[in-house]
Amino acid sequence: MTKVYNAVVPASGWNEKFTFSPGVRVGNLLFISGMTATDSKGNVIGEGDIVRQTEFIFEKMAAVLAAAGADFSNVVETTDYFVDLKDYDKTAAVRRKVFAGPPYPAATGVRVAGLIRPAALIEIKAIAVLSS
């Protein structure tokens, strides 16, 4: 059976043990998998620091966007999963910098009981619209 989508993998590669693609392109839509601030060795970057974790997630997301020939101006929606909502407002300055001012993408914030990496404070996924 032929798949209706193509995987999008950053130039740095992707850990083959994962059973998901970092990004999936269907037509001109790019679905970016939820990401935590985890490096290629499985270490959480910025443990206890939601700002650094958010920055690192967006660095990883930028690599997936670049692999699809896109950047953050193509992102139309994000979903942020927070372990603790007290940290929610700390991520706003990072979003302002990443998305370079209004208009911002649509966004949803969700409080969760925990993430797959216990030291992760936030996970972010996104949808982007590509040119062609």
**pLDDT tens by residue, 2-53:** 788 888 888 777 777 777 789 999 999 999 999 999 988 889 999 999 999 9
Tell me what the mean pLDDT of segment 75-90 comes to.
94
State the pTM of this model: 0.93
Provide the 3-class DSSP secondary structure of residue 89.
Answer: helix
Strands in the chain per DSSP E: 6-8, 23-26, 29-35, 75-82, 106-111, 122-129
Confidence of residue 132 (pLDDT cuts 50, 70, 90): low
Q: Which CATH superfamily is domain 6-129 in?
A: RutC-like (3.30.1330.40)
Q: 58 or 101: whose pLDDT is higher?
A: 58
So what's the pLDDT on residue 2?
79
